[in-house]
Amino acid sequence: MRKKELYERTIAYFKEAMPVAETELDYDSPFSLLVAVILSAQCTDKRVNMVTPRLMHDYPTAEAMALATPEVIFEYIKSVSYPNNKAKHLVGMAQMLVKDFGGEVPDTLEELVRLPGVGRKTANVIQSVVWGKAAFAVDTHVFRVSHRIGLVPTRCTTPYSVEMELMRHIPEELVPIAHHWLILHGRYTCMARNPRCGECGLKMLCKYCKKMSLVDKESKGIATNIKEI
């Protein structure tokens, strides 16, 4: 199948199966989303959503959080992964927002990645979710699913190379939702372990599914031959 057709059929499937796709992180402002995304690194959204209500109630703005200390913030977020580093990042991020951006979350990649705890993936999430920009955040789910389906070639071995390949083929206006399509598909269907290939609407297109089907057939053939012997 040609790459163009694969993308067209994949997009058509997601449009029908997942017409609404958005972040599962709870937030009510650009600042609260930035806090949540920083906390979500190597941590589940479910866990982050358990932590942020109390944290954001007490520190709802950059100005408020900038006055806190990492030790204080740690007590709010100690149940997430790497709480010590994340506490330092949150306070540093808030202080830089106040000092350099008037307390407001910026909308460009170049400005966002200056903030402590913010890399390209986090910056792209903020650009996409908050500002509606065509920015594709590549996390482990996007990386895995895009390779399994065959949307990106095996030579794309870094998140950045996957991002560039997806951006080449997905229409700009669909990039924000496509990011969530792949994340949610990876989270609930195309899991790292025990993917639900039998329930997947993309199984007829998926390179990984076809490969595993072939392996299953070969295994059954070997088992049959052994039985006959």
Question: Residue 4 is encoded by which pair of tokens?
Answer: 């163009």
What backbone phi and psi angles, to 5 degrees, belong to 35?
-60, -45
Amino acid at 197: C
- The verdict on whether 26 is a catalytic residue reads no
Question: Residue 205 is encoded by which pair of tokens?
Answer: 């297109």
- Residues 131, 102, 97, 121, Cα dihedral to 10°: 20
Asked if 181 and 21 count as a contact pair (C-beta separation under 8 A), the reply is yes
> Which of 139, 203, 216, 227 is flagged as catalytic?
139
Q: Measured between alpha carbons, how far is 163 from 166 in angstroms, rounded to an integer?
A: 5
> Which of 4, 121, 216, 220 is flagged as catalytic?
121
- The verdict on whether 217 is a catalytic residue reads no
Which active-site residues does the annotation give? 121, 139
